[in-house]
Amino acid sequence: MQISDAESEVMKVLWDRSPLAAEEVIAAIAPAQAWQDATVKTLLNRLLTKGAIRAAKDGRRYLYSPLLARNDWVLEESSSLLDRVFDGRVAPLVAHFSEHRKLSKADLDELRKLIGELDDGRG
């Protein structure tokens, strides 16, 4: 499922807390994005059409909840990035960030830990 950058902002709000009415989504997102109410409502409708969210009737309004799990979206987005930019390989991605000094000491420590855990699991 392809989710645009703008749609992903709406999804992040719904992943953090849901169900939410359109007005609550607007209140959470519009000020930071400088979006009009109609823009957020359009994004909600697009996500409904794509099947990424659902709407449940609650009196005179609808409450929106995600159907697409955040982990599934993250996996798809990260796989897409790796495929498009790094031929599906993780090592060149890490090398790229390393060469451009985008890895903090905490990042390096976490990578070392992950590699250690992978090595232990393959022992």
pTM above 0.75, yes or no: yes
Mean pLDDT of 103-115: 87
Predicted pLDDT of residue 123: 45
pLDDT digits (tens, 9 = 90+) for 1-45: 889 999 999 999 999 999 999 999 999 998 888 899 999 999 999
> Environment class of residue 20 by beta-carbon count within 10 Å: exposed (0-12), middle (13-18) or buried (19+)?
buried
Helical ranges in the chain per DSSP H: 5-16, 22-33, 37-50, 70-86, 90-99, 105-122
Predicted pLDDT of residue 122: 64
- What CATH number should be reported for the domain whose range is 5-66? 1.10.10.10
The two structure tokens encoding residue 59: 């009196």
**Torsion, Cα of 15, 19, 24, 30 (10° steps):** 30
* Rounded Cα gap, residues 90 and 119, in angstroms: 16
CA atoms within 13 A on the CB side of 77: 11
Q: In what order do the strands lie in the sheet with 61-66?
A: 20-21, 61-66, 53-58
pLDDT digits (tens, 9 = 90+) for 50-68: 999 999 999 999 999 999 9
